[in-house]
Homo-oligomer: A and B are copies of this chain.
């Protein structure tokens, strides 16, 4: 069932501000009825956009409004970029009737292109005038090369959590070019929210590795009205993880140029972190992702990718399967390939590696590398 509404206490809008040359929706606004507690995790890229720095500086404050534009990342845009963020926050504060410090700002799109603050200020009245409980227009307004909006919801401990995200390209560990905004009525402190969102992101968006590029603008932010039940850390984590995982899966299915979802499962690892690290190495391998595109069960590229990050990997204790077919078993090729090739020809398959080192496991999501990915990203955007 498609999710259509925010949790009570949230409203949103999406309008066309003229930032995208196409004229598509490109300005979203998410507003809380009352000042909300919030927390977030952000890109660690040193070239982080001005809006990321603005939001980081406002962690700990309560918030009333989030303004998001697509079609321009406002990253690496110097002083003018910083001025645009401040002007956007001021304009939104005027529309909502709150203080400038209660407004958060996100951007996504090409890097290094000046963003006209006037376009945003000009469209904010229309956004503020069309706020609704529906997620529809907001979820569309934040998209870039995504082909569908991404919305998920869950219940945890009696509290509701709803999230909206955009993904598509530049998806790497540490959440590259992705935005996700979660609203909940859970009653939780900012510190509790921060701990829970960091934990959940590490096990969801940070297990998504599409093209190995970490963006300047990634942000996952969670807003809480506090009007619902008080949640302990476990319930809070469970609720955020469920929504983040659902959104991450939708991003993987909508990878830029991707034609199939690839689940990389590393089992029998000493620690979950090591399992995730090995899985990401496979997901970063252009050679493996190209093989995935061609439905070539090239398990050797899986081993080669892992061998570059774990120099001590013991092949004699390592096995690789694609679908249900074991292709490499504790140091020896099995000679099987047929069922693996068949499994790879669908729109989703899993490659499973068993390490025989311990009991920990992790699953990394990626997509195949297609000619279309190159074509999309070779287009002149500036």
Chain B nearest CB from A84 CB (Å) reads 13
Check if A170 sits within 8 Å of B287, measured CB to CB.
yes
Q: Which of B299, B315, B377 contacts A287 (CB 8 A)?
A: B377
How would residues 368 to 382 of chain A score, 1 for a CB under 8 Å from any chain B CB and 0 otherwise? 011101111111111
Quick one: given A112-B328, A382-B298, are A213 and B290 in contact (CB under 8 Å)?
no
Q: Which of B110, B298, B327, B332 contacts A381 (CB 8 A)?
A: B298
Check if A214 sits within 8 Å of B333, measured CB to CB.
no
Check if B45 sits within 8 Å of A308, measured CB to CB.
yes
Interface stretch of the complex, out of A72-80, A128-136, A188-196, A238-246: A72-80
Per assembly, the copies of the chain total 2
Q: Which of B46, B76, B327 contacts A311 (CB 8 A)?
A: B46
Complex formed: what's the CA distance from A294 to B373 in Å? 12
**With an 8 A cutoff between CB atoms, is A33 at the interface?**
no
Complex formed: what's the CA distance from A31 to B252 in Å? 52
**With an 8 A cutoff between CB atoms, is A211 at the interface?**
yes
Check if A331 sits within 8 Å of B294, measured CB to CB.
no
**With an 8 A cutoff between CB atoms, is A215 at the interface?**
yes
Check if A378 sits within 8 Å of B313, measured CB to CB.
no
Could you pull out 21 A-B pairs where Cβ atoms are within 8 angstroms? A44-B311, A46-B306, A46-B313, A47-B300, A75-B300, A76-B304, A78-B333, A111-B300, A111-B304, A114-B335, A170-B304, A211-B287, A212-B284, A212-B285, A213-B287, A216-B304, A290-B374, A294-B377, A296-B382, A298-B382, A300-B382
Apart from the given pairs A46-B311, A48-B307, 17 other A-B contacts in the complex at a CB distance below 8 Å: A45-B307, A46-B306, A47-B307, A76-B315, A111-B300, A113-B300, A114-B333, A170-B304, A211-B287, A213-B301, A214-B304, A215-B304, A216-B300, A287-B377, A294-B380, A298-B381, A371-B375
Please list the residues of chain A having a beta carbon within 8 angstroms of any beta carbon in chain B.
Answer: 44-48, 73, 75-79, 110-114, 169-170, 172, 174, 211-216, 284-287, 290-291, 293-301, 303-308, 310-315, 327-328, 331-333, 335, 337, 341, 369-371, 373-382
